[in-house]
Structure 1
Amino acid sequence: MNLIYTILIFILTISIIVTFHEFGHYIAARLCGVKVLEFSVGFGKRLFGKKVGGDKTDYKICILPLGGYVKMLDEREGKVEDFEKDRSFNNQSLLKRSIIVFSGPLFNFILAVFFYFLIFVSGYSGFQPSVGLLINNSVGENIGIQEGDIIHSVNSRNVKTWSDATLQTIKFASEKKNINLEVLRNNVVIKLKEVEHEKINFESKNIFENLGILNFASNSVTIGHIEEGSAAEIYGLLVADKILAINGVSVRNWIEIVNFIKESPGIKLSLYILRNGNNLTINVIPEKLINSGFEAGRLGIGPLIDNDLISKNTIKVQYGFFDCIKLSVYKTYDFTLLTFNFIFRLIKGEASSNSISGPVGIASYASDSFSSGYTSFLSLLAMLSISIGILNLLPIPMLDGGHLMYYLIEFVMRRPIPDKVQLMFQQLGMSFLILLSIFALYNDLLRIM
């Protein structure tokens, strides 16, 4: 049943994003006077549909609901009557063809703005950006942050939640800009020392934790969260394990556990734990993290946090109507910039390709976010829409960006690229996309295994 649910949510997710992408091509084609023959949701055999309007455009739904397409009148794909040649895509000006091709990705960004607007206008919950725990001798301690401080802004961009602060920190650091935090302390805004952008570990899911800054101060010694692929997972720790002692020394709260792990990078630790009423010892070796000379151990575990602590630190964020519009555009811009920066870092070998997800990973994320509530699902839809928009803008033959590359060459050379050359590039582009899909699926399978 869970598999069916996951597949259905995946189909819903892809259908929404891809259909709107194709709708962008469709609207632009109509506005540019190009005849649209088909607007299809899905591929393969036609299930049902209807031909509408003077052009008898076939609006249809097909059997494979994993995408869609817009088919336009084009002399390269079939015979066109003389009286309709001026409505054929291939006979349009370079500008009109470029607008039609670019409108698909453009509508992905518009869709992301819309999803973010829905989140902002309805209000969303998040953890207050307060410092619950500060690790000794950490980057956080060196810049002057204190327990109880509330992060007010990152590089002059005000933040409302912990995730907002995290996103802005990643964004500015990815632009190779140092981080300037302002905190609210006793109702006074205080500017902290600068954090060099090299100290931000992009491969980590907990940016601030690596700086020694934690959101919650928990007295629990029970594991509530284990990061996928972390040292904790590799050595067999499980959620609900209760850590009683490390190397024979009793631990009374999470702070002591964190300090033990942080001070033991690459060093074996013996964890004495209670699991399902049974005592056992598990040996682990914390991952060694090095950021600009700072070395620390990390297992990738988080404490079990009680509901009262969660409620105490959760805030509801609401904005006015026009602020929602502005913030939706900013959020889309920020994530777009982050995605482009990730691609550039990936090309330069500065980012891990393990972050690339395929259909299995996307399906899993979609299912989890849908179960978590509309805010999480809308946020995922927005991020995926941006990602698909950016992917389609890459200068890869077969994608919209590849066609735009052809048009740029045509503009410079004053003549179109020969069809045979385009076909050769199309085949190369298809091969690259197949290899990329296989690699993404391989990453998905590694995560499952």
Structure 2
Amino acid sequence: MSLLITLLAFIVAIGVLVSIHEYGHYWVARRCGIKVLTFSIGFGKPLLKWQRGETQWQLAAIPLGGYVKMLDEREDPVAPEELHRAFNRQPPLKRMAVVVAGPLANFLLAIVIYWAIFMGGVQVMAPRIGAVTPDSLAGHAGFVAGDVVTRIDGRDIESWADVQLALIDRAAARVRSSVTVERPGGGEIDRILDFTDIDKDAIDGSLTSRIGMSVVAYRVDEPPAAGSPAQLGGMRVGDRPLAVEGRPTPDWPAFAAAVRARPGLVTRITVARGAQTLALTLTPEAVEEGGRRIGRIGAAGGPEPASLAGLRRDVAYGPVQALGKALGQTWDTSALSLKMLWRMVSGNVSFKQLSGPVAIADYAGQSARLGWVAYLQYLCLISISLGVLNLLPVPVLDGGHLMYYSAELLRGRPVSERVMELGQRVGVGLLAALMVVALYNDVTRLLTG
């Protein structure tokens, strides 16, 4: 059932996003007087097709994209009476409008969905730190449980999601970041997180956990199984894991992942027990799961009730304010996507952060299981990413065509066929390389959990 939900969520997401993107091209092309021959969702052999006006609409066999085919002398002969409707005969500004319309349609979709979400109300997590690992970057910076983050480098913070995105941005920039927090006892204080020497492999969605802070404090909430490594190693109900082999584990997922990575190995686990910090030594049992050998200690964890109090709150906005929030969210996400891409190229961020279709499908399934709002937010994120990617100045992408038409506008004549052909080869090579890296990352994530 879980696999079915994942597949359906992925197919719906790709279908909606590709349809919106291609419809942007189609709508502007028609307004510019260009004849559209085919509107296809998917590539390859058509599975379903129908004629509407002068355009053939179709669903094709390979669902990873789509295209709009316009009348063009470079592809097929064009009757003299229809030359004025051929794409290649249009002035550069019209061609640029058609090309940019696809990515803009993706941004517009995100804005509309975010607008509806913000008007209908969304549940957010307060930007309050629930747990801090003492021997970690956050711990050394002086953060304590209960701190409420209000600003990061002058940017106002409203939710824990804001904290995560802002810190990823600052870490990727390799800077010393000023974080303003409100202390439980009252008053504001600034803390400095020094990201200048952070490992680029640590800059991902788990960054807050990697630097030693979590929005919720986790603890062992059931007695460890009799005879289990946790019970034999002295772990008790109420213990809060802080680190595994010296690496911070401020939340239970991080702790579980660290244990799973050490099957059959003697392991030192640091826990907080009341006011004490203890070092326990145990050996995770080696078990087979999904064809992989993982470690298991026989302990179950859950959030501390005190860290959940007042953590979630419902927020809703009026139409005008919601539109402003939607525009801001779309802009911030677009800017962060561009920054992260550039920082991958410049070496500040690892290419391990690239995701391919397997990871995208997995995220689609996860968000669908969390409910409609989470799934719609996922659609917004992927739609923005699709828009940003297509605007990159890479031949074969919309941004590459914009580059050619801009050069034609400035030079007064088209770019030579030789240059365009060479650009196509380079563009295809770059995209193929990125896809190989993304698929490799997907497979690695599946194998390592």
Give structure 1 stretches of 5+ with no counterpart. Answer: 224-240, 273-279, 285-300
- Of 281, 290, 309, the match for 2:283: 281
Q: Partner of 1:330 in structure 2?
A: 328
Supply the distance in 1 between the matched residues of 2:386 and 2:417 (Cα, whole angstroms).
27
Supply the distance in 2 between the matched residues of 1:330 and 1:254 (Cα, whole angstroms).
41
How far apart are 1:74 and its partner, in Å?
1.2
Within a 5 Å distance, the mapping from 1:8-157 to structure 2 comes to 8-43=8-43, 44-45=45-46, 47-52=48-53, 56-136=54-134, 138-141=136-139, 143-157=141-155
Secondary structure in structure 1 of the residue aligned to 2:284:
strand
Secondary structure in structure 2 of the residue aligned to 1:198:
coil
Supply the distance in 1 between the matched residues of 2:220 and 2:189 (Cα, whole angstroms).
32
- Contact kept, 8 Å, 2:41 with 2:59, in 1: the verdict is yes
Name the aligned partner's letter for residue 12 of structure 1: V
User: What does the per-residue CA deviation read over 1:347-398, in whole Å, with 9 as the maximum and x for residues that have no partner?
Assistant: 1222221221211111111111111111221121111111111221222221
- Of 242, 245, 251, the match for 1:258: 242
How far apart are 1:90 and its partner, in Å?
0.6
How far apart are 1:322 and its partner, in Å?
1.7
Structure 1, 437-446 or 189-198: larger mean CA deviation:
189-198
- Contact kept, 8 Å, 2:146 with 2:184, in 1: the verdict is no
Figure out how many residues of one structure are paired with residues of the other and give that number.
Answer: 405
Supply the distance in 1 between the matched residues of 2:429 and 2:409 (Cα, whole angstroms).
27
Supply the distance in 2 between the matched residues of 1:159 and 1:153 (Cα, whole angstroms).
5
Q: TM-score, normalised by structure 2?
A: 0.79
- Distance 1:373-1:263 versus aligned 2 partners, 3 A rule: closer
How far apart are 1:344 and its partner, in Å?
1.2
Secondary structure in structure 2 of the residue aligned to 1:192:
strand
Supply the distance in 2 between the matched residues of 1:222 and 1:383 (Cα, whole angstroms).
37
Secondary structure in structure 2 of the residue aligned to 1:193:
strand
- Contact kept, 8 Å, 2:150 with 2:157, in 1: the verdict is yes
Name the aligned partner's letter for residue 433 of structure 1: L
Name the aligned partner's letter for residue 41 of structure 1: I
Within a 5 Å distance, the mapping from 1:13-412 to structure 2 comes to 13-43=13-43, 44-45=45-46, 47-52=48-53, 56-136=54-134, 138-141=136-139, 143-175=141-173, 178-185=176-183, 188=186, 190-198=188-196, 202-220=202-220, 243-244=230-231, 250=235, 253-255=238-240, 257-258=241-242, 261-262=245-246, 269-270=267-268, 281-282=283-284, 303-305=301-303, 310=308, 312-412=310-410
Supply the distance in 2 between the matched residues of 1:209 and 1:5 (Cα, whole angstroms).
29
Give structure 2 stretches of 5+ with no counterpart. Answer: 250-261, 271-281, 287-298
- Distance 1:283-1:66 versus aligned 2 partners, 3 A rule: closer
Q: Partner of 1:226 in structure 2?
A: none
Supply the distance in 2 between the matched residues of 1:433 and 1:92 (Cα, whole angstroms).
28
- Contact kept, 8 Å, 1:131 with 1:148, in 2: the verdict is yes
- Contact kept, 8 Å, 2:242 with 2:248, in 1: the verdict is no
Name the aligned partner's letter for residue 281 of structure 1: T
Name the aligned partner's letter for residue 283 of structure 2: T
Secondary structure in structure 2 of the residue aligned to 1:319:
coil
- Contact kept, 8 Å, 1:361 with 1:444, in 2: the verdict is yes
Percent of residue pairs identical: 33
